[in-house]
C-alpha cells in the first residue's frame, strides 16, 4: 500500500501546487488555469520547484538522496500512521527541532513584528537582520568576551556558479581575543548517541556552505543585480514607513529602498575584521538540552566546489536524479518513498541478475 497522499491540503502555496499538480487530485481549476507570470523561467528543477533560489538544506537533502529530494517535490504529502495527510517533512522530531532552534535564538535575541506591505519590505527586514548581526561585530567593545549572533540570513552564488543559495546561519561567534569568526550549526538528536558519519557529513557540508557564503559577502564578492534578479525584487521600490523607521531607530539612516539596504549591508560586511576561521556542529538532545555533542572541523574548499559541480546538472535539468549507492541502502529503510522508488527497484533487479549469473 502506498503511503503517498494524492489529495491536497488547503495551506498549499499556489506555485508549489502547480509544480506537482499532475500527481495530485482535487487541484482547484482556478489554480490550474492561473495565468502564467510574464517572466519566462527555465523549465528545470531549479526554477520549477525552487524559483531560482535553493535553500542550503536542499543541497544537504540532495547529498542524502537526490531521488528522494525529487519525490519530495513531486509528492509533498504522505499519510501518517493515523491516516492524516501531512507534509513529508512535518515529522514530530522535525517540529521539535524547529522549536528548539527558536528557544536558542530567544536566549540572546528578542523577536519583534514589523508590518510589511510588499515583498520588497519583507526582504528589507531580512537584510536588516543581516545588517544588525554584522554591525554587532563591528561595534563590539568587550575585548575579552565573544560576540554571538543567531539566526542570521545569508545568500549568494558560491564561486560565481549558476546555483543561487539562501539559508539561515544558526550562530556566528566572534572572538576578539583571537580575531576568529566561527559558524555553528545546531542539530537535534533523538537519543544520546553521536550521529553516523554519513549524517555529520551532510551537516559539515551545510556549515561549509554557510562559511563560504559569509566569506564571499565579507570579501565583497556578491553580485547585486543577481540578488534582485533571482529573488524577483524591485531594487528601487520605496520601503514602507514601518520598515524605514526600523532602520532609522537602529541608527541606519537614509535607507529608503531595498537597494539602499543592500548597499549598506555590503559596505558594513566589507569592514569586517576577519573571514570565518572555524566551523562547528552542536548536537543537542531533543528531550534534554543539557546533553551536547560538539564537532569541529576544517573547511575543504576543493571538496565543496566538486560537490557543486556534481549537483548543478541535476538542478539545471541536464541529468536524471540519482538514488543511493548500494552501501547506503540503509537510507531506503527510513524513506517515505521506498514503495514507489524506481531507482531502488532497478538496483534490486540489477543485484538479483548479478546473483543469478554468479550462481
Which of residues 87 and 101 has its CB atom nearest to ligand SF4 in the complex? Answer: 87
Alpha-helical (H) ranges within the chain are 14-19, 29-32, 45-50, 56-64, 66-74, 92-108, 119-138, 197-218, 224-230, 241-249, 258-270, 301-315, 342-358
Q: Does 149 bind ligand SF4 (CB under 6 A)?
A: no
Measure Cα distances from 211 to 78, 164, 182 in Å: 34, 15, 8
Which of residues 132 and 338 has its CB atom nearest to ligand SF4 in the complex? Answer: 338
Q: Looking at residues 254 to 273 of the shown chain, list those that interact with ligand SF4 (rule: CB under 6 A).
A: none
Which of residues 295 and 331 has its CB atom nearest to ligand SF4 in the complex? Answer: 331
Which of residues 100 and 340 has its CB atom nearest to ligand SF4 in the complex? Answer: 340
Shortest distance, position 14 Cβ to ligand SF4, whole Å: 27
Shortest distance, position 350 Cβ to ligand SF4, whole Å: 13
**Own/partner pairs for 301-307, CB < 8 Å, 24+ apart?**
301/212, 303/208, 304/158, 304/205, 304/208, 304/209, 304/212, 305/159, 307/59, 307/63, 307/205
Shortest distance, position 4 Cβ to ligand SF4, whole Å: 12
Give the three-state DSSP class for 166: strand
For ligand SF4, which residue of 60, 68, 208, 278 counts as binding (CB under 6 A)? Answer: 68
C-alpha dihedral, 94 to 96 to 100 to 103, nearest 10°: 130
Measure Cα distances from 103 to 160, 234, 255, 318 in Å: 35, 34, 31, 42
Q: How far apart are CA 301 and CA 315, in angstroms?
A: 21
For ligand SF4, which residue of 71, 186, 210, 314 counts as binding (CB under 6 A)? Answer: 71
Region binding ligand SF4 by CB under 6 A among candidate stretches 1-9, 63-71, 182-190, 348-356: 63-71
Which of residues 67 and 149 has its CB atom nearest to ligand SF4 in the complex? Answer: 67
Which of residues 180 and 198 has its CB atom nearest to ligand SF4 in the complex? Answer: 198
Query: Mask of contacts with ligand SF4, 317-356, x by CB under 6 A?
Result: ------xx------xx--x-xx--x-xx------------
- The residues binding ligand SF4 (CB under 6 A) are 65, 67-68, 71, 323-324, 331-332, 335, 337-338, 341, 343-344
Amino acid at each position: 500500500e502506498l503511503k503517498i497522499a494524492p489529495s491536497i491540503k488547503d495551506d498549499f502555496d499556489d506555485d508549489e501546487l502547480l509544480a506537482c499538480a499532475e500527481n495530485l487530485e482535487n487541484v482547484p481549476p482556478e489554480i490550474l488555469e492561473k495565468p502564467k507570470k510574464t517572466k519566462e523561467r527555465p523549465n528545470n528543477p531549479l526554477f520549477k520547484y525552487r524559483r531560482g533560489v535553493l535553500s542550503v538544506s536542499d543541497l544537504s537533502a540532495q547529498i542524502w538522496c537526490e531521488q528522494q529530494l525529487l519525490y519530495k517535490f513531486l509528492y509533498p504529502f504522505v499519510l501518517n500512521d493515523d491516516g492524516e495527510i501531512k507534509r513529508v517533512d512535518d515529522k514530530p522530531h522535525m517540529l521539535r527541532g524547529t522549536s528548539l532552534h527558536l528557544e536558542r535564538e530567544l536566549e540572546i535575541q528578542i523577536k519583534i513584528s514589523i508590518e510589511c506591505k510588499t515583498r520588497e519590505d519583507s526582504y528589507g527586514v531580512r537584510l536588516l537582520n543581516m545588517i544588525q548581526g554584522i554591525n554587532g561585530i563591528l561595534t563590539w567593545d568587550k575585548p575579552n568576551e565573544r560576540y554571538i549572533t543567531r539566526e542570521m540570513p545569508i545568500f549568494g552564488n558560491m564561486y560565481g556558479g549558476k546555483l543561487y543559495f539562501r539559508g539561515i546561519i544558526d550562530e556566528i561567534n566572534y572572538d576578539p581575543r583571537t580575531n576568529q569568526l566561527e559558524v555553528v550549526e545546531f542539530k537535534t538528536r533523538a537519543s544520546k548517541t553521536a550521529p553516523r558519519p554519513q549524517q555529520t557529513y551532510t551537516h559539515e557540508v551545510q556549515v561549509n556552505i554557510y562559511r563560504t557564503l559569509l566569506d564571499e559577502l565579507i570579501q565583497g564578492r556578491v553580485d547585486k543585480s543577481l540578488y534582485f534578479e533571482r529573488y524577483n525584487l524591485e531594487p528601487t521600490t520605496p520601503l514602507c514607513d514601518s520598515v524605514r523607521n526600523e532602520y532609522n531607530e537602529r541608527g541606519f539612516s537614509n535607507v529608503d529602498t531595498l537597494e539602499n539596504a543592500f548597499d549598506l549591508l555590503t559596505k558594513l560586511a566589507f569592514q569586517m575584521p576577519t573571514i570565518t576561521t572555524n566551523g562547528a556542529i552542536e548536537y543537542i538532545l531533543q528531550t534534554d538540552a543539557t546533553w551536547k555533542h560538539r564537532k569541529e572541523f576544517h573547511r575543504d574548499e576543493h571538496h565543496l566546489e566538486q560537490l557543486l559541480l556534481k549537483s548543478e546538472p541535476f538542478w539545471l535539468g541536464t541529468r536524471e536524479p540519482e538514488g543511493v549507492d548500494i552501501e547506503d541502502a540503509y537510507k531506503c529503510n527510513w524513506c517515505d518513498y521506498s514503495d514507489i522508488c524506481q531507482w531502488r527497484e532497478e538496483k534490486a533487479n540489477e543485484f538479483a541478475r548479478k546473483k543469478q549469473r554468479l550462481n
